[in-house]
């Protein structure tokens, strides 16, 4: 069940495929004094998996370090504090409070406890903390607390870092903040990076969806110098890198005698469009299908059947929900969506794709434009965005790959044209 793991980032270095340039880039940034790390790219390309390898690297895992071209002169010994942002992390102050209070973060490492204090009205509320200093332990093992003192949140964060570094138990602290793009208000992002000034023992790795690092740290020119050498882009994986996923899987499956044919691998790699997520998703469900049917060889035909089953059963729920909303009940809109998704370039030129659609469907380009307007509108999920005149791109490249590969839901014998006359604006 876990030869392929579409739902999880890759932690085991022996199963981490490709990405040599990115591994070396984060290794160099980790070893460079004053340099912070930003890992950015589209969804489903392996950003979180690279962050897991960075964790092992910072903790001295030689399985990771042996893969590096730029090995550290001494084995790293960082305390790694990793957190994944969700909708409850509405701003950076909420993030810092989580880092101070979570048992998986700094809470076990500092000799004080932190409570949230919100002052002011709802419109002008200020989040600070109340620090409960611990004087020591009494005989029965209970802690003795002194009076609570209200402190500035960022000052408390800095004090916590100072205490850990001063204890001498680690050589440094690495904070890995995953899914930074989900933080709605990132105005104070520079404040946590500056919490310990220029102490080279404190590192931050910001991980999130974005086509540029500026999308994650917009408006924070004060820390540009600190991240300029630590920006690591995660482009789509090459076909050879994706093939390494199968090679790793075959190494695990060899005792069971199960394998993917070259044709099956080629087809899955082609439809994945550089996204390891889809290799893992189709690989996992192809294995399940093969085992349930008593077969040891996974063919291209079986992989194609699996993709159709994934769509029909809604296994890829997020992508399928977006697909259903985008196409509605219209074969024409589905055809146009899939035509755009089939273009290999990130930024799609309508002067290239419109003639293809018009020729295939005998459609007027003005009608095509109306449907494209639908795909931009919120009513149909805003799966496309206009980048400049006559150019569009998918907001989510993972969804683009799914829309391209997924079998058609509707057929051309029932073409609905009424909604083509609706102005989405």
DSSP 161-179: HHHHHHHTS-SEEEEEEE-
pLDDT at residue 413 in the model: 54
Of the given ranges (103-117, 211-225, 321-335, 342-356), which has the lowest mean pLDDT? 211-225
pLDDT, tens digit, 9 for 90 and up, residues 18-42:
999 999 999 999 998 888 899 999 8
pLDDT, tens digit, 9 for 90 and up, residues 318-354:
888 999 999 999 999 999 999 999 998 889 999 999 9
User: Average pLDDT in the 263-292 region?
Assistant: 94
Which residues sit opposite 41 in a β-bridge?
Answer: 209, 234
CB within 8 Å of 7: residues ≥ 6 apart? none
Q: What are the structural domains, with CATH classification, of the chain?
A: 19-106+158-234 (3.40.50.300), 239-313 (1.10.8.60), 326-421 (1.10.10)
Q: Could you tell me if 412 and 331 are in contact, meaning their C-beta atoms sit under 8 angstroms apart?
A: yes
The CA distance from 48 to 8, in Å, is 9
Strands 78-84 and 172-178: parallel
Q: CA angle 59-61-64, nearest 5°? A: 120
- Whether the predicted pLDDT of 141 surpasses 60: no
Question: H-helix or E-strand containing 183?
Answer: none
CB atoms within 10 A of CB 388: 9
> Bigger pLDDT: 85 or 215?
85
> Bigger pLDDT: 202 or 115?
202
The CA distance from 43 to 209, in Å, is 6
**At 47, is the pLDDT very low, low, confident or very high (cuts 50, 70, 90)?**
very high
The CA distance from 224 to 238, in Å, is 30
Q: What length is written for the chain?
A: 425
The CA distance from 387 to 191, in Å, is 32
Q: Could you tell me if 37 and 26 are in contact, meaning their C-beta atoms sit under 8 angstroms apart?
A: yes
pLDDT at residue 196 in the model: 64
Strands 391-394 and 384-388: antiparallel
pLDDT at residue 318 in the model: 84
pLDDT at residue 64 in the model: 93
- Whether the predicted pLDDT of 68 surpasses 80: yes
pLDDT at residue 127 in the model: 59
pLDDT at residue 358 in the model: 94
Q: What percent of the chain has pLDDT over 90?
A: 51
User: Average pLDDT in the 386-395 region?
Assistant: 94
User: Average pLDDT in the 249-270 region?
Assistant: 94
Q: Could you tell me if 282 and 33 are in contact, meaning their C-beta atoms sit under 8 angstroms apart?
A: no
**Strand order across the 112-119 sheet:** 112-119, 126-137, 143-151
Q: Could you tell me if 375 and 325 are in contact, meaning their C-beta atoms sit under 8 angstroms apart?
A: no
The CA distance from 24 to 354, in Å, is 42
pLDDT at residue 194 in the model: 73
**What is the rounded radius of gyration, in angstroms, for the C-alpha atoms of the chain?**
25
């Amino acid at each position: 069940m876990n030869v392929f793991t579409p739902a999880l980032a890759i932690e085991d270095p022996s199963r981490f495929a490709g990405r040599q340039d990115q591994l070396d880039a984060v290794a160099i940034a980790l070893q460079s004094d004053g340099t912070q790390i930003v890992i950015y790219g589209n969804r489903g390309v392996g950003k979180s998996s690279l962050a897991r390898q960075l964790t092992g690297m910072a903790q001295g895992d030689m399985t990771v370090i042996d893969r590096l071209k730029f090995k550290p002169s001494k084995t790293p010994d960082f305390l790694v504090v990793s957190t994944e942002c969700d909708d409850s992390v509405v701003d950076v102050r909420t993030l810092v409070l989580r880092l101070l209070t979570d048992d998986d973060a700094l809470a076990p490492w500092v000799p004080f406890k932190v409570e949230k204090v919100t002052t002011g009205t709802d419109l002008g509320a200020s989040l600070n903390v109340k620090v409960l200093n611990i004087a020591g332990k009494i005989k029965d093992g209970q802690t003795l607390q002194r009076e609570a003192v209200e402190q500035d949140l960022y000052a408390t964060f800095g004090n916590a870092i100072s205490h850990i570094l001063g204890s001498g138990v680690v050589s440094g602290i690495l904070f890995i903040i995953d899914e930074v793009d989900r933080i709605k208000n990132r105005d104070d992002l520079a404040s946590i990076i500056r919490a310990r000034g220029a102490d080279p023992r404190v590192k931050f790795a910001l991980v999130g969806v974005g086509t540029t690092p500026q999308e994650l740290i917009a408006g924070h020119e004060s820390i540009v110098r600190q991240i300029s050498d630590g920006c690591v882009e995660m482009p789509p994986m090459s076909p050879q890198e994706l093939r390494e996923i199968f090679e790793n899987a075959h190494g695990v499956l060899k005792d069971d005698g199960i394998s993917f044919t070259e044709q099956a691998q080629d087809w899955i790699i082609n439809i994945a469009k550089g996204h390891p997520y889809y290799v893992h998703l189709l690989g996992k469900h192809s294995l399940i299908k093969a085992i349930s049917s008593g077969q040891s060889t996974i063919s291209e035909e079986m992989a194609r059947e699996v993709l159709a089953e994934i769509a029909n059963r809604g296994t890829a729920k997020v992508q399928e929900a977006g697909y259903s909303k985008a196409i509605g009940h219209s074969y024409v809109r589905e055809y146009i969506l899939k035509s755009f998704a089939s273009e290999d370039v990130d930024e799609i030129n309508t002067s290239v794709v419109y003639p293809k659609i018009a020729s295939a469907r005998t459609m007027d380009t003005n009608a095509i434009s109306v449907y494209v307007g639908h795909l931009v509108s919120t009513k149909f999920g805003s799966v496309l965005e206009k980048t400049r005149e006559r150019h569009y791109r998918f907001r989510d490249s993972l969804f683009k790959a799914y829309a391209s590969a997924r079998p058609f839901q509707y057929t051309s014998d029932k073409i609905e044209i009424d909604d083509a006359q609706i102005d989405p604006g």
